[in-house]
Amino acid sequence: MTSAGQEIDEVLVARLAELGTGPGPMRGGAVAWSARRLATETATGRASFDPASVEAVVASLREALEEADEVPGSDGAGVGDGGGRAVRGVVGSGFGGLNPAYVLAEVDAAAGEVRVAAWAKEGLIKQRSAAKAVDKVLAALT
């Protein structure tokens, strides 16, 4: 697994383990153990925006995501041909918004486009959490 894949997996497992801190047979450690064994679903999407409103788009992304931060080194270099920014964070998805999804959004200023990718753990009952997270983040931009 790549270092980016490990980071995504660690964030998702930690967020799922937080759900298991209450009373009952499944405590944080047991939930984390189980979460590590779940498959990770991936989904992507894109949207267009007015290139003059890059700061507004980044602000909307930060609002839509919990614990949002800009990816180090994404100060305009390397995201698209004309520069841009990348924002990552977590959004509640799935049934009741309880399944965390890790989201990475790249804002390509030159092309006026936002590309969103999301990863979420899926159990036996498929909730399409990653796809719902992408839809939720793209809806926040409108």
Q: Say what the pTM is.
A: 0.82
Identify the pLDDT of residue 77: 45
SS3 at position 31: helix
Looking at the domain that runs over 39-140, which CATH code has it been given?
3.30.160
Residue from 69, 115, 73 nearest 88 by CA? 69
**DSSP β-bridge partners for residue 92:** 100
Locus of tokens 């498929």: 126
Q: Per mean pLDDT, which range of 90-99, 106-115, 129-138 is the poorest? A: 90-99
According to the per-residue pLDDT averaged within each range, which of 35-39, 77-81, 128-132 is highest? 128-132
The 10 Å Cβ neighbour count of residue 116 is: 24
DSSP assignment, residue 53? G
pLDDT per position as a tens digit, 12-67: 888 888 876 666 555 556 777 787 888 889 999 999 998 888 889 989 998 998 87
Average pLDDT over residues 127-135: 94
Pairing of strands 99-108, 66-70: unpaired
Does the structure show a pLDDT above 70 at 74?
no
Average pLDDT over residues 78-96: 76
Q: Kindly provide the residue ranges of all beta strands, DSSP E only, lying in 83-130, ordered along the sequence.
A: 84-93, 99-108, 113-122
Q: Per mean pLDDT, which range of 18-27, 52-61, 84-93, 112-121 is the poorest? A: 18-27
Domain ranges of the chain: 39-140
